[in-house]
Amino acid sequence: MIRLFTALKIPDDVKEELLGLKESIPGAKWVKKNNIHLTLQFIGEISEEKYHNLKDELEDVQMSTFELSLGKIDRFGEKVIYASVDHSVDLMDLQQMVKEKIESIVSVEKKKFIPHVTLARLNEVSVHDLAAYLQSNHDYESREFSVQSFCLYSSKLTKDGPIYALEGEYELF
């Protein structure tokens, strides 16, 4: 069995900006630079056979390149700090196409797609510290960057956090 997800790479200079927003908040576990990405679809664990079928199916996604930018820093409850994604019809279309290809091989969670880039996971964080952090970083805006591909990653969970490996990259045109 292999644990998979699809995602967009974030350019290194934008990752550096995001890492520059990192602050010392007790209870916050910040995402490492090489793990920063924008998840399109979490797949979960699948068999080796379905994995190979999925890789082939993703080759058939046909979409043009597009521009994207990240917006304000926000939170999902008291569990996650993230960078929002400025509204993009192209991103929503790409996610839907990728999801349909995945669902032709394996069923996935029926969850509304909320595009974001996770920055930190929170564990018993002070509401005051969280509010202060969000207030000071609320107006963040990244530069616009070109999305020229999407990726298939495997994920291995360890006590030190997940380890991601690139399994395939699919070019847009």
- CATH assignment at residue 130: 3.90.1140.10
pTM across the whole model: 0.94
Domain that holds residue 137: 2-171
The amino acid present at 95, given as its one-letter code, is Q
Interval 131-168: pLDDT, tens: 999 999 989 999 999 999 999 999 999 988 899 999 99
Rounded CA separation 113/85 (Å): 12
Do residues 5 and 155 touch, judged by C-beta distance below 8 A? yes
CA distance 66 to 81: 26
Residue 160's pLDDT is 83
pLDDT tens figures, 18-74 = 999 998 899 999 999 999 999 999 999 999 999 999 999 999 999 999 999 999 999
**Domain count of the chain?**
1
Cβ neighbours of residue 49 closer than 8 Å, sequence gap 6 or more? none
**pLDDT digit string (tens) for 70-85?**
999 999 988 999 999 9
Q: Comparing C-alpha atoms, which of 91, 85, 146, 117 is closest to residue 21?
A: 117
Distance of alpha carbon 168 from alpha carbon 24, whole angstroms: 35
End-to-end CA distance of the chain: 32
